[in-house]
Structure 1
Amino acid sequence: MMSPILAALLLLAALGGVWWFQKGDLGEYRRFKALNDGHSRRMRFRLWLVRAALVFLVPVGIGLALLGRLVALVTMPGEFAPLSALLPSVLASDDGALGLLLGGAVGGLAMGAVLARVLKRRPLGDVSALLPRDRRELKYAAALSAMAGVSEEAFFRLYLPLLIAALTGQAWIGFVASLVLFGAMHRYQGWAGILATTALGAVMTGLYLMTGSLWVVMLVHALVDLNGLVVTPWLGGALKR
């Protein structure tokens, strides 16, 4: 059984990391938007990658190890089972169902990218500064997409809900709190961005509970970000040589 004291300490540490990650975020993003020098922009992308790893991935690995719950990375914790039972099940062991799900996700994202180019649709939220301006920035956009998919899902869909469930005895409180924090973390994108990321987080939460597979939601999240930060700018011809 998970120690409530250890869970509380780990939760405080995790929230402190998020606070540090977000400290001065609005001002930092405004300064980033004003950058025109490609080298400075790439340095900022590198810094964000390192910070995301330190704030999200490292605490998950260390925390789960201390709790003796590393298996939660591949098997949904029992604390989430009552919520999972309320939703339709897409078993992680059912390769056909998962293949159909992921195929639909990839197809939908590809269609969205094409429509974005045809309709000249602007992304939700203030994210234009994050879009790559040339091919050298494209790899950083791809890396940020992959990092967000892996680190944010591990942190917000597994780690925080598990810690909060250990303290409250209610997994739904953990998921709701994590969802609110996930949306608030994107406040630099404005209200449209907060609402869009909160909706994405809700979809990822449901997908996790239906599949019981963290890697599935990591992959889908990464694909969503790749669509917005890599595929759409690339297909739209917005990249400089």
Structure 2
Amino acid sequence: MLDPANPVMLVLLWLTLVGVLATLTLRTIRRDQREYRRFKKFRTTKRRQLMLRRWLLISFTLFGGMTAIALLASGRFAAPLLAEVQAWPWVSALLSILEARPSVTGGVIIGLIIGVVALTIVGVVAVRKEGDEIMSVGDIQAILPRNRQELVLGGLLSINAGVVEELLFRLALPALLFATTGNAIVAIVGSLVLFGLMHSYQGVAGIVGTAVIGAIFMAIYVLTGSILIAIIAHAVLDLRSLVVIPMAIGGVHRIDGRTTPRAFAAKPAPTAALPQTPEN
């Protein structure tokens, strides 16, 4: 662990932060946006699966590596940051209510579960009645699985995102920001903004929606004191989008990508006009 009280160590902490931010920026602007534009043009499941595997590997190694480096440099600041945020008056008051009334905590958890289930059901029913496009926040239609093989990759991507993104954006990066700036607000808000910007390939709606969802995950972490619960919540939400809904709406688990190589059904060819025959 690096000690910011030591000028040399503080410089190393800032260099670590700059390195993490530069890596995220380059990955988001130069790769994520470009690769997603290419991915949206793919018409065969083979190419889609190759890209999904690539994203899974890069996400695990890149985000996992940045998390490890950030925690090695500033991991000891995670607990003090959490304690300071929990001491904010409104957070402390909310924690007191939850601790004094376990039934309230149970009610909040049950309410969240019911809300997620209800939104899922409403989304499925709406798509079945109105059309074949799944309602979503941001441009994520292209990434939704089209067959059984893609569904497996969607599940792995969901679990991976829950683990590495929560460890990086709720634990490691806030700790690094807190170690360098000494400001808890900068650490929390900065990590949420970066989390939203990382999803810029989804468009403005995706950035805003992701930042809001990130704030919810951050609240879960702060109020429970457990990063594991935030990881589970994130993974479950992504599994809903990339596994449950595609299965419920499109029955993609019944489609074998090996026998259906095209990810999109071919449009029927226009019927050619028959030549008019002169009447006798």
Does the 8 A contact of 1:153 with 1:214 survive in 2? yes
% identity of equivalent residues: 36
Deviates more, 1:20-29 or 1:198-207: 20-29
Does the 8 A contact of 1:18 with 1:55 survive in 2? no
Secondary structure at 1:236 match in 2: helix
Secondary structure at 1:89 match in 2: helix
Once the two structures are superposed, what CA deviation does each residue of 1:116-173 show, in whole Å capped at 9, x if it has no partner? 1112251111100110000111011011111111111111111111111111111110
Once the two structures are superposed, what CA deviation does each residue of 1:47-88 show, in whole Å capped at 9, x if it has no partner? 11111122211221233235564xx8xxx5112312112312
Matched residue, 2:55? 48
Matched residue, 1:170? 183
- How does the TM-score come out when normalised to structure 1? 0.87
Q: Following the alignment from structure 1 to structure 2, what is the Cα–Cα distance between the partners of residues 62 and 178?
A: 16
Does residue 117 (structure 1) correspond to residue 124 (structure 2)? The answer is yes
Q: Following the alignment from structure 1 to structure 2, what is the Cα–Cα distance between the partners of residues 52 and 101?
A: 32
Does residue 193 (structure 1) correspond to residue 195 (structure 2)? The answer is no
Displacement, 1:189? 0.8
What is the aligned residue count? Answer: 235
Gaps of 5+ in 1: none
- How does the TM-score come out when normalised to structure 2? 0.76
Matched residue, 1:142? 155
Secondary structure at 1:108 match in 2: helix
Deviates more, 1:10-19 or 1:151-160: 10-19
Q: Following the alignment from structure 1 to structure 2, what is the Cα–Cα distance between the partners of residues 230 and 5?
A: 44
Deviates more, 1:15-24 or 1:103-112: 103-112
Does residue 33 (structure 1) correspond to residue 40 (structure 2)? The answer is yes
Deviates more, 1:7-16 or 1:39-48: 7-16
4+ residue segments displaced more than 6 Å: 94-100
Which of 196, 200, 218 lines up with 2:231 in the alignment? 218
Q: Following the alignment from structure 2 to structure 1, what is the Cα–Cα distance between the partners of residues 149 and 27?
A: 25
Matched residue, 2:25? 19
The structure number with the bigger radius of gyration is 2
Matched residue, 1:6? 12
Does residue 154 (structure 1) correspond to residue 167 (structure 2)? The answer is yes
